[in-house]
């Protein structure tokens, strides 16, 4: 399956702290190998970030922990830089992997702030302040088609909506989506936007400015929700009930998981892009399950090196997850596992870029 593309989707996370971006010397980040990973060769460690040819693109995963967003590179597992955050923080990367967006608490005002950073260097380019209505328990940030989207909700959960901002300047660009009732997950691609409420399982899709339509039935107890590049929405419960809303549709269709895939689906580990779907399931040990969305008979299952906390991200051929203080990855084509680096207490994945 190594030749088959799998592109990860972003998602948002929680941390505490304050301050500005800072570079981190490569020596501060160490890489350790899992018992399931291939034995490393005796070749001396070299910096391969600038090597050409082996990887078409570098991959950088953004991890939130201990009041910082840390940029961890796939090659050499370096912590390239850190960005201080001032409270509950969420991150997203634009489709081109050029800009990183950080939504966190501005302690000076008690409201949220949104900042734009250069993915390559971590330099701040723009910020918007005094953003209200953002709940810390929601995945509320997305970056699509030269816009940044922020999910907001009334305290009573009677109404939810999405405000947009210009991608580079963060100038407000108006409200683009609304949903009656709660929403705690924002899903977005160039195809469409969706608002999801995990508790009652209601969803709204197919937005134009200020509009949208509800999905035809609820799917209560959602543990994970994701959107494929074509706009297909996948939702799953912790018990393994799976369903999808096809692109261009508002009809929710049930999709049975294979009967031999037993265990609890772990929260926010469902990811789907490029025609593939991946989730993490806890049985006697944790597993990564993956299948071709158009043919579930084409599927693989790999044992993980620990139970993912706070979700999973994927960018072919790797899926990333965190266990306690460490960020790890699995090669989805071979099942090889590796611990990248110790990132800090309660490390949570935020976003991934192909640079």
Q: Domain-by-domain residue ranges, the chain?
A: 22-31+57-353
DSSP-assigned letters across all residues of 109-166: TTEEEEEEEETTT--EEEEEEEE----TTSB-EEEETTEEEEEEE-TTSSEEEEEEEE
β-sheet bridge partners, residue 281: 265, 287
SS3 354: coil
Q: Give me the pLDDT at residue 316, please.
A: 82
DSSP-assigned letters across all residues of 199-249: TT--EEE---TT--EE-SS---SEEEEEE-TTS-EEEEETT--EEEE-TT-
Indicate whether 4 pLDDT > 80: no
By DSSP bridging, strand 111-118 and strand 99-106 are antiparallel
Residue 291 near residue 261, CB atoms below 8 Å: no
Residues 105 and 17: their CA atoms lie apart, in Å, by 9
Contact residues for 192 (Cβ-Cβ < 8 A; gap 6+) = 205, 206, 207, 227, 231, 247
Specify the range with the lowest mean pLDDT, choosing from 88-92, 117-121, 139-143.
88-92
- Tens digit of each residue's pLDDT (9 = 90 or more) over 172-191: 999 998 899 999 999 999 88
Q: State the pTM of this model.
A: 0.83
Specify the range with the lowest mean pLDDT, choosing from 242-246, 299-303, 330-334.
330-334
Residues 258 and 75: their CA atoms lie apart, in Å, by 35
Residue 241 near residue 253, CB atoms below 8 Å: no
Q: Give me the pLDDT at residue 272, please.
A: 81
CATH among 3.40.50.800, 2.130.10.10, 3.40.50.11820, 3.40.50.300 for 22-31+57-353: 2.130.10.10
Better-predicted residue by pLDDT, 341 or 42: 341
Residue 187 near residue 225, CB atoms below 8 Å: yes
Residues 144 and 137: their CA atoms lie apart, in Å, by 22
Locate 300 and state its tokens.
Answer: 């693989």
Instruction: Tell me the C-alpha to C-alpha distance, in Å, between residue 308 and each of 33, 43, 267, 292.
Output: 17, 31, 9, 22
Residues 104 and 133: their CA atoms lie apart, in Å, by 12
Q: Is 51 left (phi over 0), alpha (psi -120 to 50) or beta?
A: beta
First-to-last CA distance in the chain? 23
C-alpha radius of gyration, the chain, whole number? 19
Indicate whether 52 pLDDT > 90: no
- Unique residue bearing structure tokens 């734009």: 116
Residue 104 near residue 88, CB atoms below 8 Å: yes
- Tens digit of each residue's pLDDT (9 = 90 or more) over 182-219: 999 999 998 899 999 999 999 999 886 666 799 999 99
> What torsion, rounded to 10 degrees, do the Cα atoms 341, 346, 347, 350 define?
180
Q: Give me the pLDDT at residue 57, please.
A: 56
CA angle 334, 340, 344 (to 5 degrees): 140
Residue 258 near residue 242, CB atoms below 8 Å: no
Locate 76 and state its tokens.
Answer: 């050499």
């Amino acid at each position: 399956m190594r030749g088959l593309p799998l592109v990860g989707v972003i998602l948002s996370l929680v941390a505490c702290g304050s301050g500005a971006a800072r570079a981190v010397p490569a020596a501060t980040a160490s890489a350790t190998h899992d018992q399931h990973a291939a034995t490393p060769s005796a070749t001396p460690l070299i910096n391969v970030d600038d090597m050409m040819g082996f990887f078409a693109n570098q991959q950088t995963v953004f991890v939130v922990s201990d009041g910082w967003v840390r940029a961890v590179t796939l090659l050499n597992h370096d912590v390239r830089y850190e960005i201080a955050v001032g409270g509950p923080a969420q991150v997203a990367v634009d489709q081109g992997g050029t800009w990183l967006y950080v939504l966190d608490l501005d302690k000076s005002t008690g409201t949220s702030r949104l900042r734009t950073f250069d993915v390559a260097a971590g330099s701040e380019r723009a910020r918007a302040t005094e953003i209200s209505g953002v709940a810390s328990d929601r995945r509320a940030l997305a970056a699509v088609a030269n816009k940044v989207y922020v999910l907001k909700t009334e305290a009573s959960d009677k109404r939810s909506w999405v405000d947009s901002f210009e991608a580079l300047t963060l100038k407000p660009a108006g409200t683009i989506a609304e949903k009656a009732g709660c929403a705690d997950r924002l899903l977005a691609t160039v195809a469409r936007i969706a608002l999801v409420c995990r508790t009652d399982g209601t969803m709204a899709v197919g937005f134009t400015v200020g509009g949208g339509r509800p999905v035809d039935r609820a799917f209560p107890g959602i543990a994970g929700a994701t959107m494929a590049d074509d706009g297909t929405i996948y939702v799953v419960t912790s018990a393994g009930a799976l369903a999808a809303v096809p692109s261009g549709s508002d009809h929710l269709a049930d999709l049975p998981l294979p009967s031999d895939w037993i265990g609890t689906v772990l929260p926010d580990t469902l990811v789907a892009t490029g025609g593939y779907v991946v989730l993490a399931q806890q049985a006697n040990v944790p597993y990564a399950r993956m299948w071709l969305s158009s043919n579930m008979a084409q599927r693989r299952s790999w044992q993980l090196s620990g139970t993912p906390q706070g979700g999973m991200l994927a960018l072919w051929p790797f899926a990333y997850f965190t266990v306690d203080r460490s960020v790890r990855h699995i090669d989805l084509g071979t099942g090889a596992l590796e611990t990248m680096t110790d990132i800090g207490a309660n490390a949570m994945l935020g976003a991934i870029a192909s640079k």
